[in-house]
Structure 1
Amino acid sequence: MKLDLDGKTALITGASKGIGLALASVLAQEGCHLHLAARNGAAMNAAKDELEAQYKVRVTVHALDLSRTEAMEKLAQDVGDVDVLVNNAGDVPAGSLEVVDDAAWRAGFDLKVFGYITLARAYYRRMKGRDGVIVNVIGNSGENWDASYIAGSTGNAALMAFTKALGGASLDDGVRVVGVNPGPVATDRMLKIMKRKAIDMLGDEGRWEELFDKYPGKRPATAEEVANLCAFLASPRAGYITGTIVTIDGGIAARGSVI
């Protein structure tokens, strides 16, 4: 399906690996110019060289730590106007209430929860009347609460509410706001979470691969599967979708399981 994104410009946070990097590739294939933001400048510059050579799009790299409001505001100022904002940077720690301390809660929320809100605030007003799209990559623990990932569940639930509240009214301003809730995805971040779950469930982080047996299809999602969904929701093909969350987890949340 042609997504009609040719010539548009997108900003993707958390773009050095995982879902963000996979989405950069998908959008570049569709002819979308890119701004990539994350801490790992080397990885993004490697992606820039590859994507510009292969797809003839413009790729600009912004290597910075997005865990502070000032950094998010600087990013928005440096990037300027875009057609699509993809909020994807986040690293909320896994663990129970007893495991995750106050500092870790705050650091995780500063990057993901407040980071998403700060960039949405910065770009929403710029997008008014311009058919802009904000895609928030959130996580299925926001709808399928998990005591062993309590900070993530709490932060993701907040971002789901934020997305629905803003997206419910945004079409009045010519803006769409949507969310994507991945379940487990084959990324470096998933490995950290799975090791923590293996401790909680099996008593040994080294047994994390055994948890795959509990997944639908005996596997996590691929980053490309999530990226394809994000690209569709960002495109004019999804022009009447706003104020909603699309879950991509193989049915995990629907059956009330954490994995």
Structure 2
Amino acid sequence: MDLLLRGRTALITGGSKGIGRAAAESMAAEGCDVILVSRTQGALEEAAGAIRSRFQVNVRVHAADIAVQGTAEDIAARFPEIDILVNNAGAIPGGSLAQVDGTTWRQSWQLKVFGYIDMCRAFYPLLKARSPYAAGSGATAPREAAAAPFVPSIVNVVGNAAETLDQAYICGVTGNAALYAFTRSLGGTAPNDGLRVVGLSPGPVATDRLIGLMKKKSADRTGDADRWQELFSPMPFGRAATPEEIGDMIAFLASPRSGFTSGTIVTIDGGMAARSRAF
């Protein structure tokens, strides 16, 4: 399926590895130019080189810490021409209420919660200005979805902890729940401005970050961090999702093939959040 992304430009935070890199690769495979943003220049250059060699698209990188106030505005000033914003950077640690101190709560939310909000605030007016459906444009969508003009979009990668409510990941549960509400609220009225805002909520994904969280959980439960792989056994299909499965969905949600999607959260977790147990 052609996602009709050729010639577009997507900016992806947390784009040097994991889900962000997978999303960049999925979009690049569709002919979409990408801008990768993360904190580590070396990792960005490695990812960019690999993507360029595989897909022959324009790949730019920018090393920045989105947790620092003012960074989002600086990024928007550097790259005002994007068509798609993917908010993906975030590293909220595991732990119960007693285990996560107040400083850690605030530092974690600076990146994932306030970082997402800041990026949306900085890029929303720029995306609106590029939309064929912006107020006053006079444009109306044709009946055929494939022929509809491209609509600029924001995809917020959140996480299903907002639904599973795992108290051993309470800082992430609460932050993700806030981003669920933020995404739905912004996406509900974004079409009035000719934009779409959607959320993607992955369950466990086999990234370096997940392995770190699983080691922490294994140490808490068994006293042995090296037994973390045993915790995958009760998961759907006995595994975590692959980054590529999530990256492909990000590309689809950002594309005109999903052009009537806004103000909603798509959960990909093998059914984990939908499980109901009496005991």
- Residues 209-231 of structure 1: CA distance to partner in whole angstroms, max 9, x if unpaired? 11111111110000000001111
Equivalent position of 1:84 in the other structure: 84
Deviates more, 1:64-73 or 1:91-100: 64-73
1:206 deviates by 2.1
Maintained 8 Å contact 1:148/1:200 = no
Q: Secondary structure at the match of 2:47?
A: helix
* Structure 1 unaligned residues grouped into runs of 5+: none
- Which of the numbers 235, 249, 255 marks the counterpart of 1:235? 255
The offset of 1:45, in angstroms, is 1.0
**Unpaired segments ≥5 residues, structure 2:** 132-150
**Structure 2 partner of 1:186:** 206
Separation (CA, whole Å) in 1 of partners of 2:204 and 2:175:
17
CA contact (8 A) 1:176 1:241 kept: yes
Partner of 1:31: 31
Residue of structure 1 equivalent to 2:146: none
Please say if residues 140 and 249 of structure 1, whose CA atoms lie closer than 8 Å, have aligned partners that are also in contact: yes
Residue in structure 2 matched with residue 16 of structure 1 by the alignment: 16
Contact 1:136–1:180 (8 Å) recurs in 2: yes
Residues 170-225 of structure 1: per-residue CA shift (max 9 Å, x gap): 11111000001111100010011111221333343222111111111110000000
Look up the match of 2:238: 218
Match 1:171 to one of 191, 202, 216: 191
- Following TM superposition, by how much is the alpha carbon of 1:70 offset from its aligned partner in structure 2, in angstroms? 1.6
Partner residue in 1 for 2:105: 105
* Distance across 1 between alignment mates of 2:166 and 2:53: 43
Residue 252 of structure 2 is aligned to residue 246 of structure 1: no
Aligned with residue 217 of structure 2, among 180, 185, 197:
197
Q: Which residue of 2 aligns with 1:75?
A: 75
Structure 1 residue aligned with 2:157, among 127, 130, 137?
137
Which entry has the higher C-alpha Rg, 1 or 2?
2
In 1: Cα distance, 2:92 partner to 2:152 partner: 28
SS at match of 1:246: strand
Separation of aligned partners in 2, 1:97 and 1:256: 24
Segment drifting more, 140-149 vs 121-130: 121-130
Detail structure 1 runs of 4+ shifted over 4 Å in the superposition. none
Give the secondary-structure state (helix, strand or coil) at the position aligned to 1:136: strand
Query: Matches of residues 141-152 of structure 1 in structure 2 within 5 Å?
Result: 141-152=161-172
SS of 2:61's equivalent?
Answer: strand
Q: Distance in 2 between matches of 1:38 and 1:95?
A: 25
Shift of 1:72: 2.0
Write the distance in 2 (CA, Å) between the matches of 1:10 and 1:19.
14
Contact 1:128 1:175 (C-alpha < 8 Å) held by counterparts: yes
Which is further off, 75-84 or 107-116? 75-84
C-alpha separation between the residues in 2 aligned to 1:25 and 1:111? 23
TM-score scaled by structure 1?
0.96
Between the aligned partners of 1:256 and 1:39, the Cα distance in structure 2 is: 39
1:144 touches 1:256 (CA, 8 Å); kept in 2? no
Q: Report if aligned partners of 2:199, 2:265 keep a CA contact under 8 Å in 1.
A: yes
Equivalent residues, number: 257
1:256 deviation in Å? 4.7
Counterparts of 1:159 and 1:191 in 2: how far apart (Å)?
23
How far apart, in 2, do the equivalents of 1:179 and 1:200 lie?
A: 31
Residue identity opposite 2:53 in structure 1: A
1:126 to partner: Cα distance: 1.2
Q: Which residue of 1 aligns with 2:47?
A: 47
